[in-house]
Amino acid sequence: MIRRSRWFIVIGMVSLGALPRAHAASFPDVPKSHFAHDAILYLADRNIFAGYVDPKGGPSGRTFKPDKNVNRAEALKIIASNFIPKSETITLRSTDFTDVPDNAWYLPSITWALPKRIIDGPPSMTAFFPMRSVTKAEFLKMLFSAYGIDPKAFNDIALPLSSDVTDVKEWYYPWMRYAIATTTTIAPESGTLAPARELTRADVALLLYRFMLYRDGRRTQELLTETRKDVERVITSLAKGDVRGAEYASARAILIARGALLTEPEQPVVKVAVKIAEGYRALTRAYRASLNGDLEVVRKLSADAVTLAGQARTISGEAKALADQLEKYSTSFADQTRKK
């Protein structure tokens, strides 16, 4: 029986250097307690996001309107602002999109995005829907495509990630997978990833901020923390007999640990996180096999988990407590099957 228990990745603090300093100015409608406070000020400092002129805007004369929905045209312009130099002039005045008027303020962004296939254009798509609120999945596709991310990244992991991201053949699955691996998006306690959710300005700021920090190698600690959280969810789910929840969490844990490995391939603590995540994935698969009555597979997968625990210990002695716990669960589970 898997029992819920506290566990810790003995990571210390990975040295990442100082995080970027926040913008000196602030927005009165974005208090320090706001979930996207740091992201908004970081992006404002880089002129990626601007506020709105507002008499109630305090010393800066501006408010941010964090709860305002972002439409597709605005989302594309926000992403393009990191690529189109302010001095560059794009002279195209129309497109073949049926719903984009001539001289539209967002035409430069569309002109930049179409040849890079950041957005789909004619003949496959004849409309851009510029005023429609951008969804999370749409924004992630545009964002990652702009930075040249290969949708086949982490292609060896094609697993359901949450109760609302289960079909690996959905067009947005590769982008959600990459977002998880980089902690651009993070599963809340509910475990849902909400690909169809319409994004606010605060939502967009947070996603973009996390991704930019990941690219700069400044998300390793968060990656390790989120790996730990999802492994804890595996343990909790298995203790409740919720194998599906454990499968979702174990898939995310492997992705996040692999995302950390890409940025810090020589860090022992990152290598340990990968082994532990893979171990709990094996244990979750063993649990599923037990429900199907395949006891031989249960014993094999439990043995795989024990091996991975041993590899984690070999990498770092500081992983002993964590590896011991994984080994204990796996051995106990295998022993139970032998009694049947």
**pLDDT tens track for 7-25:** 344 443 344 433 444 444 6
Amino acid in position 20:
P
Strand partners, 198: 135
pLDDT (0 to 100) of residue 56: 76
Is 101 a domain residue? yes
For the chain, give the percent of residues with pLDDT over 90. 78
**Any residues with CB less than 8 A from the CB of 91 and at least 6 apart, and which?**
none
Tens digit of pLDDT for each residue in 265-317?
999 999 999 999 999 999 999 999 999 999 999 999 999 999 999 999 999 99
Q: Lowest-confidence range among 51-55, 221-225, 229-233, 236-240?
A: 51-55
Mean pLDDT to the nearest integer, 50-60 = 80
Is 33 a domain residue? no
pLDDT at 30 over 60: yes
Q: What mean pLDDT is reported for the chain?
A: 90
**Domain span at residue 95?**
71-132
Mean pLDDT to the nearest integer, 143-165 = 97
pLDDT (0 to 100) of residue 215: 96
pLDDT (0 to 100) of residue 336: 78
Domain final position from 109, 132, 155: 132
| Rounded (to 5) percent helix, strand, coil in the chain | 50, 5, 45
Residue 111 has which token pair? Answer: 């002109």
Is 274 a domain residue? yes
210 φ, ψ (degrees, to nearest 5): -60, -45
Q: Domain count of the chain?
A: 2
- What is the H or E stretch that residue 62 is in? strand 62-63
Strand partners, 52: 63
Domain final position from 115, 132, 149: 132
State the CB neighbour count (10 A cutoff) for residue 31: 9
**Chain center to CA of 116:** 23
Positive or negative, the CA dihedral 11, 13, 15, 16 is: positive
Specify whether 234 is located in the same domain as 126. Answer: no
pLDDT (0 to 100) of residue 50: 86
pLDDT (0 to 100) of residue 340: 56
**Residue 340 CA: distances (Å) to CA of 241, 297, 331:** 18, 14, 15
Is 229 a domain residue? yes
Mean pLDDT to the nearest integer, 126-131 = 97
The model's pTM: 0.91
Tens digit of pLDDT for each residue in 157-186?
999 999 999 999 999 999 999 999 999 999
pLDDT (0 to 100) of residue 14: 45
Mean pLDDT to the nearest integer, 252-259 = 98
**Chain center to CA of 261:** 15
Domain final position from 132, 162, 179: 132
Specify whether 330 is located in the same domain as 227. Answer: yes
Is 261 a domain residue? yes
Is 51 a domain residue? no
Is 248 a domain residue? yes
Is 313 a domain residue? yes
Query: pLDDT band for position 334 (50/70/90)?
Result: confident
10 Å CB burial of residue 278 (0-12, 13-18, 19+) is: buried
